[in-house]
């Protein structure tokens, strides 16, 4: 499940809205919404995010949070380690291989470690995802 999918499901279930009902309102298939909620589809389009925000009446911070979650919700991430150390490449490969085995607390600790890093501009030729 992706961060966007989890939030969408929480919104939908919290308001007692069925998958088929939401799909009709957003003019998409229930299968697509289910795949989106379960992380089997890529990140949603800006148009769909806007529709979701409108449907649930989300404004300001809540609407921006949906946009932020969508940015973090691509289920197939590519990590380019060209030009980095061998240790960075090895870590990226281990993470790709073993992330499914990490408990939630370990994932939270790793995210906190990354959050503590000082901000820096993206390196030339690289795009932030």
Top pLDDT among 4 and 76 is at 4
State whether 67 and 43 are in the same domain.
Answer: yes
Q: What is the biggest distance separating any 2 CA atoms in the chain, rounded to whole angstroms?
A: 50
Q: Cα separation of 15 and 102, whole Å? A: 32
Q: Is residue 35 part of a domain?
A: yes
What string of DSSP letters covers 107-122? Answer: HHHHHHHHHTSPP-PP
Banded pLDDT at 121 (limits 50, 70, 90)? low
CA distances 49 to 54, 61, 63, 65, Å, are: 9, 14, 9, 10
Q: Is residue 77 part of a domain?
A: no
Name the phi and psi angles at 57, rounded to 5: 70, 30
Domain ranges, residue 106: 86-115
Rounded mean pLDDT, 112-119: 93
Q: What is the pLDDT of residue 122?
A: 60
Q: Is residue 125 part of a domain?
A: no
Percentage of the residues of the chain whose pLDDT score is greater than 70 = 93
User: Helix-strand-coil percent breakdown of the chain, rounded to 5?
Assistant: 60, 0, 40
Query: For 44-70, what is each residue's pLDDT tens digit?
Result: 999 999 999 999 999 999 999 999 999
Instruction: Write down the pTM of the prediction.
Output: 0.71
């Amino acid at each position: 499940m992706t961060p966007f999918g989890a939030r969408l499901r929480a919104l939908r279930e919290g308001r007692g809205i069925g998958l088929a009902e939401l799909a009709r309102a957003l003019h998409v298939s229930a299968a697509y919404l289910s795949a989106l909620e379960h992380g089997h589809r890529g990140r949603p389009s800006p148009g769909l995010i806007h529709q979701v925000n409108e449907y649930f009446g989300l404004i300001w911070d809540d609407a921006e949070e949906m946009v932020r979650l969508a940015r973090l919700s691509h289920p197939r991430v590519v990590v380019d380690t060209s030009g980095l150390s061998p240790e960075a490449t090895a870590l990226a490969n281990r993470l790709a291989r073993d992330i499914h085995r990490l408990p939630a607390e370990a994932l939270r600790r790793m995210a906190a470690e990354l959050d503590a890093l000082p901000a820096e501009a993206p390196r030339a030729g690289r795009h932030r995802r």
